[in-house]
Amino acid sequence: QVQLVQSGAEVKKPGASVKVSCKASGYTFFGYHIHWVRQAPGQGLEWMGCINGDTGVTNPAQKFQGRVTMTRDTSIWSVYMELSSLTSDDTALYYCAREATRTFYMDVWGKGTTVTVSS
Amino acid sequence: QSALTQPPSVSGSPGQSVTVSCTGSSSDVGRYNFVSWYQQPPGAAPKLVIYEVSNRPSGVPDRFSGSKSGNTASLTISGLQAEDEANYYCTSYTSSNRYVFGTGTQVTVL
């Protein structure tokens, strides 16, 4: 069935970077965007940006510009989100979610990857 | 881009109707019909329940409906059931070619 499989939990020190993966399963990679959305403990959802699965063009949220890098590997149907210069405020559950290109909604979500930033 | 404004909580008894509002601006909710709603039970990933203001994906009960007036979108749950208890988030496409989520609303079934 159609699903997005995310990598496991990460623990990082302040100032480090983290790279989270999201693997598409059960559907063709092309024709879809992958969005990244995070949720801090007890807080709401926050859109971080997206990557075009066809072209690799990225569209980061203004808040994360210069600190987030989104890439894709079409040979293994995977997308990656790397966040640098981590602080404790980046402790959150990070989700990837699929959007059929230019439909403007996210119809399939991964289960999330917990990232903890602690010294 | 500021988050869209939602009430922190709404509640209702089983069988009643509840409405969750989502207020944005003329740069997002008021400009596009690209408002979607997501249901997130505790400890689970979000699930799409409404897209393009008022469309329901396959498998979502017809007691979920959506609408929009000006800069405010709304999600209505009719015939409230215990399984509807969750957090609900709206999101909208914006004029800066980005997305913004709402602040989230906890729906409680009394």
pLDDT of residue B81: 97
- Is it the case that residue A41 has pLDDT exceeding 80? yes
pLDDT of residue B1: 75
Q: Give the residue carrying structure tokens 């249901």.
A: B39
Partners of residue A70 on adjacent β-strands: A81
pLDDT of residue B72: 98
- Chain-centroid distance of CA B37 in Å reads 4
Partner-chain contact B46 A35, CB within 8 Å: no
How does DSSP classify residue A29?
S
CA-based nearest distance A8→chain B, Å: 15
Mutate to test the interface with B, among A59, A95, A105 (most CBs of B within 10 A): A105
- The per-residue pLDDT string of chain B (110 residues; one tens digit each, 9 = 90 and over) reads 789 999 999 999 999 999 999 999 999 999 999 999 999 999 999 999 999 999 999 999 999 999 999 999 999 999 999 999 999 999 999 999 999 999 999 999 99
Task: List CB contacts (< 8 A) between A97 and chain B.
Answer: 46
pLDDT of residue A76: 92
pLDDT of residue A23: 96
- Is it the case that residue A29 has pLDDT exceeding 80? no
Residues 6+ apart with CB under 8 A from A19: A80, A81, A82
Partner-chain contact A106 B36, CB within 8 Å: yes
pLDDT digits (tens, 9 = 90+) for A43-90: 999 999 999 999 999 999 999 999 999 999 999 999 999 999 999 999
Partner-chain contact A61 B103, CB within 8 Å: no
| CB contact at 8 A, B29 and B22 | yes
For chain A, give the mean pLDDT.
96
Partner-chain contact B51 A95, CB within 8 Å: no
pLDDT digits (tens, 9 = 90+) for A105-116: 999 999 999 999
For A110, name the nearest residue in chain B, comparing CA atoms only: B45
